[in-house]
Amino acid sequence: MDDLYQDPIDVVVTDGAVVLFGPGSLSGAFTPDAAEQTARALLEAAEQARAARH
């Protein structure tokens, strides 16, 4: 995988939306519910990826 980032994304709230920025060209705006579901999925995937490395 060429685009494996070590820096976390920036997250802000704008007009009731959860907005993600970078690194790279990563960006997006989510409803609070979608952001929460995404956060849970990211945590689960991070745990799986970390376990796969050991």
Per-residue pLDDT of the chain (54 residues; tens, 9 = 90+): 778 999 999 999 999 999 999 998 999 999 999 999 999 999 999 999 999 998
In the sheet with 17-21, reading across from the earlier edge strand, the strands are 10-14, 17-21, 27-30
- pTM value is 0.84
Spatial separation of the C-alpha atoms in residues 10 and 20, rounded to whole Å: 6
